[in-house]
Structure 1
Amino acid sequence: MNYETGSITQERLPGVEAPPSRRKFLIAAIVVAVLAVVGWAVFGRGESDGAAKTASGEQLAAISVMVPGRTVVARDVTTTGSLAARRDMPVGIAGEGGLVTRVLVEPGQWVAAGQVLATVDRSVQTQTAASLAAQVSVAKADADLAQAELDRAAQLVDRGFISKADLQRRAATRDAASARVKVAQASLGEARARNGRLDIRAPTAGLILTRQVEPGQIVSSGSGALFRMAQNGQMEMRAQMSEGDLQGLRVGSRATVTPVGSTQSFPGEVWQVSPVIDPSTRQGIARIAVKYDPALRPGGFASATVTAGSASEPLLPESAVLSDATGNFVYVVGKDDKVERRSVKTGEGADNGIPIAEGLNGTERVVISAGAFLNPGQKIKPVLQARKG
């Protein structure tokens, strides 16, 4: 029996994946190609794209730089705090109190100065005032009688029918009666004034915030505040700010207040800056006045952006400012076109860039792109870009 010998050729069937070793090779080749493209885009576009070579033939990367100069930048401070009435006025019993018969206002209602907020029963006080009014009438009658007797005695003393001493006694009786009239009138006026203070009145025009009294309640001078109101409806935000932020803040500084949970913002201005700092929190309070709006509820929480002055600072695009574990930094092109790392302190972000509070004076050539691919001491070909604005 004859047997044929030969090699067996393995063919890949359709739908069968490549061996793992070949798949890894393909992935590695793709990664290398991508890195090569990126490196060429950043550093290797050749002399036609602005790259340069050193004397030894080493190719230099063309990197965009700018001299930022200095720009006047508004210093905005973001803070939080609580909303409150600018003048929160407690309203209580001014008189002796009693039984509340009616409550005439509700929270959220506007009232005028002197308007009655609640009435107190005055039936007993009314009778007392009537009794005192009667006493005034009696005292006036006695005074009239004493005056008449004095007039008759004055006519008889010249005829010798009565003595001058008797005339003086009658004059004293008349004066005493007149004094009793004044005492009775004063007592009546006091009673009427007390009765007038029984009603609870608004001390000034404003907005009723809370109501703590109901009809049938017995109130007295010890009952505390029965109403709370905002004088003239004026509102404010009491913003908690660090002592550093308070340094540049001035009365009249503009602010924008946004209540928590709302997308609506309200313009305001700082009307008072705290003269003291809390030693435990190292913070002070800036009071921001805002016009009344139903969305501004005293006791609520809000955030605010306050313009705390302005400063002349270098302004860089966001791409120029890098950061790592040690903080923010930029690359500056120094002597012999070598890049140097410079630590910087940034200010509040502006619409057209990032202000640099510390670290630059504005005359340096600052790398504005590709900084993440550079190393300190690396030599580049700087391409100066015009400063915007």
Structure 2
Amino acid sequence: MMPKQRPLLLTGALCAAILSLGACANKDDQGGRDRGAPEVGYVVAATSAVPITTELGGRTVAFETSEVRPQVSGLIRRRLFTEGGVVRAGQPLYEIDASLYRAAVDQAEANLASARASAAAAEEKAKRFEPLAKMQAIAEQDYTDALAAARVARAAVAQNAAALETARINLRYATITAPISGRIGRSLATPGALVSASQAQPLAVIQQLDPIYVDMQQSSAELTALRQSLASGGTQPGSTAVRLKLEDGSDYGFTGTVQFSEMTVNEATGTVTLRARFPNPKRLLLPGMFVTALFDQAVEPDAILVPQPAIQRDFDGSAFVYLVGKDNKVVRRKVATERTAGTNWVISAGINPGERIITQGVGNLRTGMQVRPVPASSAQQVGAAGREAAKGK
């Protein structure tokens, strides 16, 4: 080898070494960048049936209400019940002085006896006149008059019998009984008070509290929108089961059932009344209480649920999410959030089934960032379909 070629060989070897080191450095830098990509948790968007829960304010209403009123006039002699207690249908509540009504019964009985005696005499006379009329021993008119008198006498018997029945009914009305079973309130009349059948004020009020009604008010516009959605197939009918929250925010322990919806709209409020029926064995609900009713009025069959931590808000308040896009790069997507369902948002636009939604590690993400996606914890999975899809990724 010639002396001039050695420096050239050394120079070539040195250059090769430098290039090799540079390639290794580039490879190490690339590997470092891969290892430095943040890890994010995701769920796979899937459709599921989501109930549309309606929350309405309402008032409790007694199942049955009856005002105790007198049907005859007179002085109250006794009150026969305990105020605030439970009474049964037919139980005596008040006793009115019945002297006049007993006398009316006695008079009606006497009048009936007199009418029956007169009728017997008139019928006997008509029987005696019949053969005489056939023999022309008496005038035909006399026999006709005797028959008519017998018929009048029989009618008088019927009239007096009806009068006697009326007198007996009035005598029974002197004892005022409970028309329904339930809890009776305070007495509005005391012994010695004069009452009449035409008075405006009741003597007491009885209310049946088990079961009990809850009347709810819903906007006619909401009800119309719901009916149109049901008719178009966008939603399906929900359940008639109703849950209650009491005035203090606690849950009522029993579930009720929607009975019906009125067919007219209140012109003053623009609402429609819905009535639900609830068991009330402990008498916890009293008429007039304000409650909040919750029930699944419809079901959205193909809704997409997204965990609440995945939803971010822009400066204008609009919602967006981060998705795991192609090559595991972050994609920012605006979405339309309708309502919440438990711990999830119901998304009406912006996400398609099967897309991967980032739910964990969203704090420092930006569009186009390289990430290492892993399935989020099972507690954040959206339904069984979402978990199965996440496993398949």
Alignment partner of 1:363 is 2:363:
no
What does residue 18 of structure 1 align with? none
In structure 1, how many angstroms separate the alpha carbons of the residues matched to 2:294 and 2:30? 49
Q: Is the 8 A contact 1:249 1:273 kept in 2?
A: no
**Alignment check: 8 A CA contact 2:320 2:333 kept:** yes
1:349 corresponds to which letter in structure 2? Answer: A
CA–CA separation in structure 2 for the residues paired with 1:51 and 1:275 = 68
Q: Is 1:208–2:183 an aligned residue pair? A: yes
In structure 2, the partner of 1:9 is none
| 1:233 and 2:239 matched | no
Q: 1:273 aligns with which of 252, 261, 267?
A: 261
- Specify the code of the residue in structure 1 equivalent to 2:293: A
Alpha carbons 1:92, 1:221 under 8 Å: kept: no
Contact 1:322 1:330 in 2 (8 A): yes
Shift of residue 143 of structure 1? 1.7
- Seen in structure 2, the aligned counterparts of structure 1 residues 119 and 357 have a Cα distance that, compared at 3 Å, is farther
What is the count of residue pairs matched by the alignment?
332
The whole-number CA distance in structure 1 between the counterparts of 2:303 and 2:172 is 65
Query: Hey, what does 1:299 align to over in structure 2?
Result: 288
CA distance in 1: counterparts of 2:161 and 2:222, whole angstroms? 63
Q: Does 1:82 align with 2:73?
A: no
Is the Cα contact below 8 Å between 2:60 and 2:285 reproduced in 1?
Answer: yes
SS of residue paired to 2:299 = strand
Gaps of 5+ in 1: 1-45, 54-58
> Gaps (5+ residues) in structure 2?
1-28, 227-234, 385-393
Answer whether contact 1:63 1:380 (CA < 8 A) is retained: no
Task: Report the 3-state secondary structure (helix = DSSP H, G, I; strand = E; otherwise coil) of the residue aligned with 2:258.
Answer: strand
- Which of 296, 300, 305 is 1:315 aligned to? 305
Alignment of 1:319-334 (within 5 A): 319-323=309-313, 326-334=317-325
- The answer as to whether partners of 1:250 and 1:273 remain within 8 angstroms in 2 is no
- 1:230 and 1:250, CA in 2 relative to 1: closer, same or farther beyond 3 A? farther
Partner residue, 2:162:
186
Q: In structure 2, what is the equivalent of residue 52 of structure 1?
A: 34
State yes or no: 1:140 paired with 2:116: yes
Kindly indicate which of the two structures has a greater share of residues assigned to helix. Answer: 2
TM-score normalised by length of structure 2? 0.71
Shift of 1:82: 1.6
Partner SS state of residue 368, structure 1? strand
Taking structure 1 as reference, are residues 259 and 152 closer, same or farther at Cα in structure 2, changes over 3 Å only?
same
Cα distance change, pair 154–282 in 1 and its aligned pair in 2 (3 A): closer
Counterparts in 2 of 1:255 and 1:47: CA distance versus 1, 3 Å: farther
Displacement after TM superposition at 1:52 (Å):
2.8
CA contact (8 A) 1:77 1:245 kept: no
| Amino acid of the structure 1 residue aligned with 2:43 | M
1:339 alignment partner, SS class: strand
In structure 2, C-alpha distance between the alignment counterparts of 1:278 and 1:170, rounded to whole Å? 68
Inter-partner Cα distance in structure 2 for 1:299 and 1:249: 33
Change (3 A) 1:382 1:171: same
Aligned partner of 1:167 in structure 2 is 143
